A and B are shown apart, each in its own frame.
Chain A
Amino acid sequence: MAEPPGEQPEEGEKPQEPGPEPPRQPSVPSSKSLHGLARQSGQGLQGQTGSSEKGLEPHPSQDEQPAQIPLHDQQPGPPQQVRGSIYQPQQPRLSVYEQQEPRGSIYQPQQARGNLFQTRGSMPQPQDQRVGAYRPPTGVQDTAGGTSQDFVGGASQPQDQRGSSHQPYQVPSVRSTQQQFDPGHGPYQTHEPGLGLYQLGAGIYEDQVPDPGPRALAIKNAKAYLLKTSIKSGVSLYDHFAEMLAKILEERPENPADIIENISKDIKCARFQKKLDTLRDEYEKLPTYELAEMYKTLFQKVGGDGAEQEVEEEALETPLPNVMETAYYFEQAGFGLSLEEYYHIFLAIKLLVTTHPLQNCRFWGKVLGIEANYIVAEVEFREGEEEEEAEEEEIPEEVLKEGSEREEEDEDDEEKDEPPKPNYKPPPIVPKEDNRTGTNKFIYFVCNEPGKPWVKLPPVTPAQIVNARKIKKFFTGKLDAPIVSYPPFPGNEANYLRAQIARISAATQISPLGFYQFGEEEGDEEEEGGAGRDSYEENPEFEPISVTELVDSLSNWVHHVQNILTQGRCTWINPLQKAEEEEEEDEEEEKEEQEESQQEVGPPLLTPLSEDAEIQNITPWSSEASTSLVPQYAIAVLQSNLWPGAYSFAIGRRFDNIYIGWGHKYSPVNYTPPELPPVQTEYPSGPEISETADPTVEEEMALKAAQEEALAVEEMEEEEEEDEDEDD
């Protein structure tokens, strides 16, 4: 601005000032030249000199100068003029004294500002103290200037200049800290510290003083600057600060100085959030609501009054399992889902029970998938009812088969020039087990979320079980997803899931010894093919085994699901019997098959767990009591190491099994897909089609020689004959 030229000459003097000053102060009534220096150099000096002088009020010139100096600096005019004007504004100073009382009343709003000053004030204090020793009231006056300047805070140019003039006077360290705080304020701070604390009110009044002149102008400028709205966001810094302070004072966070950036950011963010476009009126469709809607249906009673009556009639013998009770026990065991989920499942199973004619129903477990999980319910239909459904299901399969055969026939007719048929004959298909027996003893329903419709899984075939053993794939959560694997799996994910469920059930469905017994009416073992009897019934005379015994000895637990043979069935069947009837077979094949067809025998039903094979030095089951602190009420918990995620508990007559996991068997060694079979031969190789080696030269020569000999012999003979003829 205009001032730099004025200041430049002074700069030379500044360095001298700090030294001489202290002595000068005592001799306060010093010459005007000194004052001039002080004033020009900056307010710091003036504060000091002024303060010393203030005591001696009679010297108006000296007193006034400090108060007004800010104005002078702001004024473009030369400092001398300023001084001239200084005399007039005495009033403001007077007013300062007068207004000391009002100050008190004004006090509150200024507190905030006072805080701002405090930090700053502490640093310049040394100087003031110097002065202060001289005369405390000086502080008072300076405050006036200080506070007013604070208002000006943002005002840029005048202050900066003043700062430059000021600083040499002050202790350098002070200056630096001030600048960090707010460079604009730097110059004023010298006055503020003493004054700012005492006399906040005065400043305000001074601003309003009738003769504000250039200072007020500066304040206005500063405020105008602060009020200038940003082009981008349309917000002014003034408003932003106001909001920030309001927020801080409202919320009173701890350590606001540390998180001031966050607060500022929050306010800015909040501003953006309010600004929304008109499209937003469309109601958002969150999946949460859909699910809540779905769950709500679970909580509604199914059907009308009639249905309720039926339920009451059947209440005595309902197939509905008490899921929550088992959930409680598994929670004691340290395994299971959240109670909320359990209850949803409970309601979903209830829905299943009411909509299907079920004899038995059980929450089997949960199979995790990549995109969704399966909740599995194990059910048994009532006698007679399930067969109808089964037949219905089978029909489409047959239709399909017939259809495909027809197509093949059609193709055959069209193509008269048949390509050579491979003489490969697929191994005979092992027929699947009938419903209610073996692997298909139970029927399984699955759903992704409780409340979604239950989907019945198709019965499992032995081929699926055999193939499921060879592959290891994650479930995706979609039943119709294809299984891309080697060896190829016959079916989609529903079949794979069903096969895994069958395997898991066979391995991990266990009960305390003696809880089940074989039915008496069951036929001889021989009839069953040696695989043991496949049905059992509850033992009415079962005496509970104590928990400690259950924990200590695995022989107190038995499998109550039949073991699946390597064939993929629970009861062995000779796959060749049918095949022999249908086709004639080569002798060689028959031999092979005879070797294969040795009957497989697995452990019979209700075999104790202690017979289970170890997995490479790892026990197949880990058992423990649920608590060691309260052994009286502990329950026995068994955990399968072969199928991680399979748990069982037992206490008294209660026991249950559950599986929650990925549906994979544990193997200590890593999985290796089976090797590719050797490449098949394209055709039988024989002498007819194999190329002969070219004869070598020797061989040709030998052949030639032989031929020549032969010729020679013939000729000889001919000649002889001729001779004979001639002779004749």
Chain B
Amino acid sequence: MDAETLPYALDLVAGSGVCLSPEKRTALRTSLLLVRRDYRFEQVRLWGRIQGTRGAYYVAEGLGPDRAGPRSRLYSLNCVDWSLLPPPAEEMIPMTAGLKGRFQGDPSYEYENYDKKEEDLESHMSDGNDLALVKEELRLVITVDQIDKAVGIVPRGAYIKTPLGPVHENRSFEGLSLTEAKKLSSYFHFTEPVNLKNKTLLEKADLDPSIDFLDSLEHDIPKGSWSIQVERGGRIVVLRSLLWPGLTFYHVPNTKQHGYIYFGTGEKNIDLPFML
């Protein structure tokens, strides 16, 4: 969520236990402003917090003019000093895929990648040493990226794709109506669309190319991986991801205000199919 409106936005998502102590909140207000200055971002967002057993990572992201373009992510352990995370790369994913369990809260902590080790010993003996240790920082990068791709969402119409490609905030977005806001189809994954290309021409006919350039949540697998609730009597719509518990999205109907934040352990809920 946007760093500018952080206290207000945090209050809206507090229903699921998301809360920052006054100390952290104040620190964030200050430090994120400086981050914005130092890295020359157009917009800085507080992405969330990943709770480790011995400490927590606070993650922020900075955006350039293209809102859907690549974004820089930073993390901090104390909400004051921020350090840049390396951009996620394809080859990192298999390295961290086998890691399970809670984060430690120490970026230099090294995981012993048991699964990888065994595989390597079986298949390529030579690679075994390189992949045996994975730093937690790397895991953090991938986890944040995965969460963003899987459950980073925006309301329909909040962003428009310009004919030249870049995605901008829609100036004339006035928010979803309450009835619209209760439907999953009014929310989009804010990432490269996957299902959109697979739609039939008939389905595509009603889409507005400048608005409907993203995948909607409607066809998320498994079905029912979102909890959509109207809180405070219709003043806020809150979406909680059941796939990545801890991700809370809020939208105030009929206003521009929306955003999401992740406050969790950084673990995917792989038991979801059994739990519905």
Interface residues of A (CB under 8 A from B): 259, 262, 265-266, 286-292, 330-338, 340-341, 366, 368-373, 472-474, 616-619, 622, 624, 626-630, 639, 641, 644-645, 660-662, 664, 666, 668-671, 673
Of B15, B22, B101, B233, the residue contacting A292 (CB under 8 A) is B233
Best-surrounded residue of B24, B232, B270 (most CB of chain A within 10 A): B232
B224 within 8 A of A: yes
Interface size on B, residues (CB 8 A): 41
Q: A265-B172, A288-B234, A629-B23 are known contacts. Are A370 and B224 too (CB-CB below 8 A)? A: yes
Chain A residues closer than 8 Å to B211, beta-carbon distance: none
Across the interface, do B227 and A371 meet the contact criterion of CB distance under 8 Å?
Answer: yes
B16 within 8 A of A: yes
Task: List 26 contacting pairs A-B, 8 Å CB cutoff, sorted by A.
Answer: A259-B171, A266-B172, A286-B233, A286-B234, A287-B234, A288-B233, A288-B235, A290-B233, A291-B234, A331-B19, A331-B22, A332-B21, A334-B20, A334-B21, A338-B11, A338-B15, A369-B227, A370-B224, A473-B276, A618-B53, A618-B101, A628-B78, A645-B17, A660-B17, A668-B101, A669-B100
Question: Which chain A residues lie closer than 8 Å to B100 at the CB level?
Answer: 668-669
Residues of B within 8 Å of A366, CB to CB, are 17
A474:B276 contact, CB within 8 angstroms: yes
Question: What mask results when residues 82 to 111 of chain B are scored 1 for a CB within 8 Å of chain A, else 0?
Answer: 000000000000000000111000000000
Q: Mark B1-31, 1 if CB is under 8 A from A, else 0.
A: 0000000000110111101111110000000
Q: Note all chain B residues with C-beta closer than 8 A to A259.
A: 171
Query: Could you tell me the distance between the alpha carbons of A81 and B274 in the complex, rounded to whole angstroms?
Result: 92
Task: Tell me, rounded to whole Å, the shortest Cβ–Cβ distance linking A686 to chain B.
Answer: 42
In contact, A474 and B242 (Cβ under 8 angstroms): yes
Q: Which residues of A contact B11 (CB under 8 A)?
A: 338, 340
**A370/B227 contact (C-beta < 8 A), A292-B233, A618-B101, A668-B101 known:** yes
Max chain B Cβ within 10 angstroms of own Cβ: one of A290, A332, A338, A371: A338
Question: Which chain A residues border B54 with CB–CB below 8 Å?
Answer: 622
Count: A-B pairs, CB below 8 Å? 111
Residues of B within 8 A of A265 (CB): 172
Among A287, A371, A617, the residue within 8 A (CB) of B101 is A617
Instruction: For B19, give its contact among A287, A292, A336, A372 (CB under 8 Å).
Output: A336
B102 near A334: Cβ-Cβ < 8 Å: no
In the assembled complex, how far is the CB of residue B210 from the closest CB belonging to chain A, in whole angstroms?
A: 11
Whether A644 and B265, one on each chain, are in contact in the complex, defined by CB atoms closer than 8 angstroms, is: yes
Contact (Cβ within 8 A) B17 A262: no
Q: Does B229 contact A (CB under 8 A)?
A: yes
State which of A340, A370, A661, A673 has its C-beta within 8 Å of the C-beta of B242. A370
Cβ-defined partner of B245 (8 Å) among A369, A618, A622, A662: A662
Closest 4 CB pairs of A and B: A291-B233, A660-B17, A338-B14, A334-B21
Which of chain B's residues have a CB closer than 8 A to the CB of A334? Answer: 19-21, 24
B131 within 8 A of A: no
A333 close to B21 (CB less than 8 A): yes
Interface residues of B in 232-258 (CB under 8 A from A): 232-235, 240, 242, 245
A266 to B276 Cα, complex, angstroms: 43
**When A289-B233, A331-B22, A660-B17 are in contact, do A368 and B240 touch as well, CB less than 8 Å?**
yes
Known A-B contacts A337-B14, A627-B21; the reply to A287 vs B172 at CB < 8 A is no
Contacts of B233 in A (CB 8 A): 286-292
Which B residues fall within an 8 A CB radius of A?
A: 11-12, 14-17, 19-24, 51, 53-55, 78, 100-102, 171-172, 178, 224, 227, 229-230, 232-235, 240, 242, 245, 264-265, 270-271, 274-276
Q: How near does chain A come to B175, taking the closest CB pair, in angstroms?
A: 14
Q: Which residues of B contact A617 (CB under 8 A)?
A: 101
Q: What chain B residues lie within 8 Å of A337 (beta carbons)?
A: 14-15, 17, 19
CB distance from A685 to the nearest CB of B (A): 37
CB distance from A348 to the nearest CB of B (A): 15
Closest to A622 in B: B53
Contact partners of B21 in chain A: CB under 8 A? 331-334, 626-627
CB distance from B181 to the nearest CB of A (A): 12
Q: Closest A-chain residue to B12, C-beta based?
A: A338
The reply to whether B53 and A619 contact each other, CB–CB distance below 8 Å, is yes
Who on chain A is nearest to B10 by CB?
A: A338
Residue of B nearest to A370 (CB): B227
**Bound: A286/B177 CA distance, A:** 12
Once bound together, how far apart are the Cα atoms of A574 and B144, in whole Å? 51
Which A-chain residue is minimally distant from B265 (CB atoms)?
A644
- A262: chain B residues at CB < 8 Å are 171-172
A616 touches B101 (CB 8 A): yes
Chain B minimum-CB-distance residue to A369: B227
Besides A262-B172, A626-B21, 11 other A-B contacts (C-beta < 8 A): A288-B232, A331-B19, A334-B21, A336-B14, A337-B14, A337-B15, A338-B11, A373-B15, A627-B21, A629-B23, A668-B101
Given the interface contacts A371-B227, A641-B53, does A335 sit within 8 Å of B275 by beta carbon? no
**In contact, B229 and A372 (Cβ under 8 angstroms):** yes
Contacts of B16 in A (CB 8 A): 368, 660
A639 smallest CB distance to B (angstroms): 8
- A331 to B19 CA separation, bound complex (whole angstroms): 7
Contacts of A287 in B (CB 8 A): 230, 233-234
- How far apart are A261's CB and chain B's nearest CB, in angstroms? 9
For the complex, what is the distance from the CA of A644 to the CA of B49, rounded to whole Å? 14
> Chain A CB within 10 Å — which of B24, B234, B265 has the most?
B234
The 8 Å CB contact of A341, one of B14, B20, B264, is: B14
Given A262-B171, A335-B17, A644-B265, decide whether A474 and B275 contact each other with a Cβ distance below 8 A: yes
What's the least CB distance linking B245 to chain A, in Å? 6
Instruction: Pick from B17, B22, B245 the residue with the most CB of A within 10 Å.
Output: B17
For B232, the chain A residues whose CB sits under 8 A away are 288, 291
Report whether A627 and B17 are in contact in the complex, using a CB–CB cutoff of 8 Å.
Answer: no
A370 to chain B, nearest CB (A): 4
Whether A371 contacts B229 in the complex (CB less than 8 A), given A288-B235, A673-B274, comes out as yes
